[in-house]
Amino acid sequence: MSSTDLLLAPDALPAGFRFACVTAGLKASGKPDFALAIADAPASAAALYTANRVQAAPLIVDRKHIARSGGKIRVVAVNSGNANCATGEAGIQAAEQVCAAASEAFACHDYEVFPSSTGIIGVPLPAEKLVAAMPAASAQAAGTAEAFSAFARGILTTDTRPKVASARAEIDGQTVRIVGTCKGAGMIGPQLVPHATMLGYIFTDAAIEPAVLDSYLRASVDTSFNCISIDGDMSTNDTVLILASGTSGVALPAGHPAFRIALDAVCLSLARQIVHDGEGVTHVVELQIKGAPSDADARTIAKTIAHSPLVKTAWAGMDPNWGRLMAAIGYSGVAIEPERINIWFGRHEICRNGGRSPLYDEAQAHAYLQQREFTVRIDLGLGSGTCNFFTTDLTHEYVHINADYST
Amino acid sequence: MSSTDLLLAPDALPAGFRFACVTAGLKASGKPDFALAIADAPASAAALYTANRVQAAPLIVDRKHIARSGGKIRVVAVNSGNANCATGEAGIQAAEQVCAAASEAFACHDYEVFPSSTGIIGVPLPAEKLVAAMPAASAQAAGTAEAFSAFARGILTTDTRPKVASARAEIDGQTVRIVGTCKGAGMIGPQLVPHATMLGYIFTDAAIEPAVLDSYLRASVDTSFNCISIDGDMSTNDTVLILASGTSGVALPAGHPAFRIALDAVCLSLARQIVHDGEGVTHVVELQIKGAPSDADARTIAKTIAHSPLVKTAWAGMDPNWGRLMAAIGYSGVAIEPERINIWFGRHEICRNGGRSPLYDEAQAHAYLQQREFTVRIDLGLGSGTCNFFTTDLTHEYVHINADYST
């Protein structure tokens, strides 16, 4: 795929937005590192941020701007190559400088600009490079699938490919479009709060009040971005933002099923694309937990399994060593009863009543785990709590990517 | 070192115990896999077990036997090569069979036998092999440094070397001896409860009542075995047992400083030996956390750092990327204030007030991290809570050891 290939069909793009991407010079590689999305008019905005207590400077600025503007955003300005985190007051000022330059270039208030950063933590952000790149970005901005594709590429760091999803909702005979893009391959253990260096940007042409948009976003994020993990390291910069331009003319109240389903689909697709592009991933695993005391307990068990180095290395080795799963379930903190636990790899029963299943066939289990994607189903036999969670194996390549002395 | 080398000085061994180690045939390698310790007379016993809710069969039997015997144990019977966990009622029966055979061989009650197992989870334990090996073990048992050394080797699994520590306490002009051995290199994230497949066995010739022995053991384990982590995977089989034969004639009340210090030294030495022998370890890291709201908070932060794949791979790469430390501190759940955090690598100040220190010298920091052992000091600037914690890096070799399809 060439770097100019379209990542979505031209008619999938919601109207009311323009996109741009330039090279400001933050990345040693010389790749594009400054991506902008511009709403033609102030767009309703809702955003969720990482639950990490160490928060990058742009997140602090974003909260202030969204409060000040009453949930209306004109410009999203995303740099890759530097996280602008653990940079103190100077980091806040750097983010504000970028906003000031964007407000001038796009004729809006500085508090209508939403900055984002991703990259290395603890290194001062050279805001002057982003400021200097602003005129070129402004000249280039366009409401086309090409420009959106460039935006999707400009936000990447260790990702091997861009991530894009789109959906339509038919509402009272009219069409509402949703398109989203995100980045992330490592430091992925998001908990967006009400939680994610995962960055996600979603655009729709529906007309939705900011508070209503927020409730849609929270619901969709909870079963998508909040149900994935690569290394379990929760980032300081995770952000998911949705902007609604209203250009479709379709005004949406809270809880409209068609819109909710479409937004769920976009968020889930983007979240899964992150897992598939996880650092060093050779296996993508869907954990289907059921029979837990509560949904929260099911998620706790899924996360514990997804963060176990022994489970993840067994997956890398296609090793059906299910005892490691039992151990992780046992230390999850959930009040499980071992003798009620049943485990399947796909359709293959592995564990019955907490012990090796009489149907267990090691060769068959090993063969099943050789697929790039597989499913581990666990029934705890206790209640009605469930969770579907996507995670990865832990491979030599993950260690290689992250142990390389590259600062 | 040959397999018959002494692991401790002959006069370090407390009197009142004999040791044996034979090959029962559980390990494919044909290495010794069945180790026994025999007290000449019922010895005071105290034991701590894993906090994992999935508990191996021997732990269930151990609790029952210690309760039944009033904290008096005659025989410790440890097999390596099979964890006897997730083996259901048959697993309990297998452990009981081993106890019955030991009670016959050593002329004691079956409830005076303390079985332990370590190895693969979910595979039935062939008790008949251990029963068949009992006469040879009985014939061989001896109160010598050679026999103790064989015991220390017989309990190993993926360990690359045996682990032994000893200490003496002078009490009212008399000498009390303590000697301990342990195993563990992977699935190490112990939390021994009042918490650990770490197995530890400590022997002393002091005369101590079981309840008093228990209080000594809990205090020493809390700052040793409970303050280490390799992969953070808490095992289903972790056990630490101390036996006091009383043969020194020195009767000890609770809280005797000299005994406490000696036991602390043995436990800390054994715990650190486990970390040094961690699977694939190339760096051993001492985390010194201070200024936390509480000791418990300091430990939570230490554990979060010790379980972060991004921090551990950075250590493997000798990468001074301290932003990963900040991210882990931030998602630990402790109510930290980022701008109060200071970090040093040894004597090198890395982070001041939550940002890069003006003294930060990347080349110097990188050079410091090239040592096999180094210290990361973190001052949270909030309270008086502290924790010293030992952990490891995460390397290619760890992945190799655990991703090999070897079931």
Whether A106 shows a pLDDT value over 90: the answer reads yes
Cβ A48 vs Cβ A192: under 8 Å? yes
Domain boundary among A241, A276, A311: A276
Q: pLDDT of A321-365, one tens digit each?
A: 998 999 999 989 999 999 999 999 999 999 999 999 999 999 999
Share of chain A above pLDDT 70, in %: 96
Share of chain B above pLDDT 90, in %: 77
Cβ A230 vs Cβ A189: under 8 Å? yes
Q: Which residue in B52, B87, B232 is closest to A309 by CB distance?
A: B232
Query: pLDDT value at position B195?
Result: 37
Report strand pairing: B342-345 vs B348-352. antiparallel
Nearest residue of A to residue B83, measured between CA atoms: A323
pLDDT, mean of residues A189-196: 55
- Cβ separation of B231 and A338 shorter than 8 Å? no
pLDDT, mean of residues B139-162: 93
Q: Give the least confident one: A201-205, A291-295, B77-81, B399-403.
A: B399-403
As for how many domains chain B has, the answer is: 2
Task: Work out whether the CA dihedral B294, B296, B301, B302 comes out positive or negative.
Answer: positive
Domain boundary among A233, A250, A276: A276
Query: pLDDT value at position A187?
Result: 73
Cβ A47 vs Cβ A62: under 8 Å? yes
Judge if B225 and B348 occupy the same domain: no
**What is B34-93 written as a DSSP string?**
EEEEEEEEEEEEEEEEE--SS--HHHHHHHHHHHHHTSEEEEEEEEEEE---S-HHHHHH
- Separation CA A73–CA A37 (nearest Å): 10
Query: pLDDT value at position B1?
Result: 44
> Residue A240 in 3-state DSSP?
strand
pLDDT band at residue B187 using 50, 70 and 90 as cut-offs: confident
Judge if B292 and B376 occupy the same domain: yes
Instruction: Cite the active site residues of B.
Output: 197
Whether A25 shows a pLDDT value over 90: the answer reads yes
In a domain, A5, yes or no: no
In a domain, A3, yes or no: no
pLDDT, mean of residues B128-147: 97
pLDDT band at residue A1 using 50, 70 and 90 as cut-offs: very low
CB atoms within 10 A of CB B190: 33
In a domain, A2, yes or no: no
Side-chain-side CA neighbours of residue A252 (13 Å): 33
Whether B73 shows a pLDDT value over 70: the answer reads yes
Judge if B71 and B130 occupy the same domain: yes
Residues with Cβ within 8 Å of A9's Cβ and at least 6 positions away in sequence, in order, are: A145, A166
pLDDT band at residue A405 using 50, 70 and 90 as cut-offs: low
CA distance B56 to chain A (A): 10
- Separation CA A222–CA A135 (nearest Å): 38
- Which residue matches tokens 């149907």? A359
Judge if B300 and B393 occupy the same domain: yes
> Residue B336 in 3-state DSSP?
coil
Judge if B221 and B290 occupy the same domain: no
* Best A49, A54, A345 residue to mutate vs chain B (most B CBs within 10 Å): A54
In a domain, A323, yes or no: yes
Q: pLDDT of A150-165, one tens digit each?
A: 999 999 988 888 999 9
Judge if B76 and B136 occupy the same domain: yes
In a domain, A4, yes or no: no
Judge if A290 and A266 occupy the same domain: no
pTM for the model stands at 0.84
The ipTM of this complex is 0.81
pLDDT band at residue A406 using 50, 70 and 90 as cut-offs: low
Q: pLDDT of B338-363, one tens digit each?
A: 999 999 999 999 999 999 999 999 99
Whether B53 shows a pLDDT value over 90: the answer reads no
Judge if B292 and B162 occupy the same domain: no
In a domain, B189, yes or no: yes
Q: Which residues does chain A have within 8 Å of residue B308's beta carbon, measured at their own beta carbons?
A: 231-233
**Catalytic residue (choose from A118, A158, A181, A197):** A197
Q: Which residues does chain A have within 8 Å of residue B60's beta carbon, measured at their own beta carbons?
A: none
Whether A268 shows a pLDDT value over 60: the answer reads yes
Nearest residue of B to residue A366, measured between CA atoms: B405
pLDDT band at residue B108 using 50, 70 and 90 as cut-offs: very high
Assign residue B132 the CATH number of its domain. 3.60.70.12
Judge if A253 and A333 occupy the same domain: no
Judge if A382 and A298 occupy the same domain: yes
Domain boundary among A231, A249, A276: A276
> Residue B146 in 3-state DSSP?
helix
Nearest residue of B to residue A191, measured between CA atoms: B331
Cβ A331 vs Cβ A289: under 8 Å? no
Give the A:B interface size as CB pairs under 8 Å: 242
Judge if B266 and B292 occupy the same domain: no
Query: pLDDT value at position B3?
Result: 58
Assign residue B370 the CATH number of its domain. 3.10.20.340
Query: Which of left, alpha, beta for B96 (phi over 0: left; psi -120 to 50: alpha)?
Result: alpha
**pLDDT, averaged across chain B:** 91
* Best B195, B233, B364, B401 residue to mutate vs chain A (most A CBs within 10 Å): B233
- Separation CA B197–CA B192 (nearest Å): 11
**pLDDT, averaged across chain A:** 91
Which residues are registered as beta bridge partners of B284? B373, B392
Nearest residue of A to residue B400, measured between CA atoms: A396
Print the domain residue range for A241.
10-276
Q: Which residues does chain A have within 8 Å of residue B321's beta carbon, measured at their own beta carbons?
A: 120-122, 407
Active site residue A392: no
Q: Which residue in B88, B187, B339 is closest to A310 by CB distance?
A: B187
- Cβ separation of B52 and A88 shorter than 8 Å? no
Q: pLDDT of A38-49, one tens digit each?
A: 999 999 999 999
Judge if A246 and A129 occupy the same domain: yes
**What is A322-383 written as a DSSP string?**
THHHHHHHHTSSS---GGG-EEEETTEEEEETTEE-TT--HHHHHHHTTSSEEEEEEE-SSS
In a domain, A105, yes or no: yes
